[in-house]
Amino acid sequence: MATLYLASGSPRRRELLRQIGVSFQTLNVPIDEEALPGESPSAYVERLARAKGQAGLGVLGDTDGAVVLGADTAVVMDGRILGKPANREEALATLRTLSGRSHEVLTAVALVSAERVVAQVVRSQVTFRPLSQAEIEAYWASGEPQDKAGCYGIQGLAAVFVSQLQGSYSAVVGLPLCETAALLAEFAIPCWQSLPDHSQEVAGRG
């Protein structure tokens, strides 16, 4: 079986891969995340996911049997990418923009080996209920928005803001698990690795 490497420092992506029982090693591959002039959000996240995967492959001394997973997530409102906040004022402004409206979350996942690259972009729509200024300020004070694209984490305290989700919850967190599993299967990397066998225990009951 190929060895999977995750080219990401995101603890959320590591947790999601572990959730579906996939073994992997982690690579640290910082890349330039500046959007290109005229680049669409969808093209942006796919380019970065591919670049992370290719950069990860580049740092490996031996690429034989190696597959590198790169991923990128963008929160998009009115065609504009809402990145990580530079400061408190920017975060508060972003959260006010998201309040009471729907926005799109795009997550791209790419798998890169020495022989080929496969990638997919997953779109989800998230709707926030109206937020009060006090809630917005309290959320910023919690520290959670500071390193998050779009200034929120759906898997954390901001779960109480989300009134509706259309699409993949795990993609909004940072990695679309259904689509990732399908891409991994193309490289003969299974999910649910090393599951305990309870079949005899179940068969013997009664």
CB 110 within 8 A of CB 50: yes
Return the amino acid letter for 140.
Answer: W
Q: Return the axis-axis angle of helices 133-141 and 88-98, rounded to nearest 10°.
A: 130
Catalytic positions, written as ranges: 72
3-state helix, strand, coil in the chain (%, to 5): 40, 25, 35
Query: Do the Cβ atoms of 176 and 170 come closer than 8 Å?
Result: yes
SS3 134: helix
Distance, in Å, from the CA atom of 84 to the CA atom of 68, rounded to the nearest integer, reads: 25
Angle at 168 between CA 162 and CA 172, to 5 degrees: 60
CA 160, 166, 169, 170 dihedral sign is negative
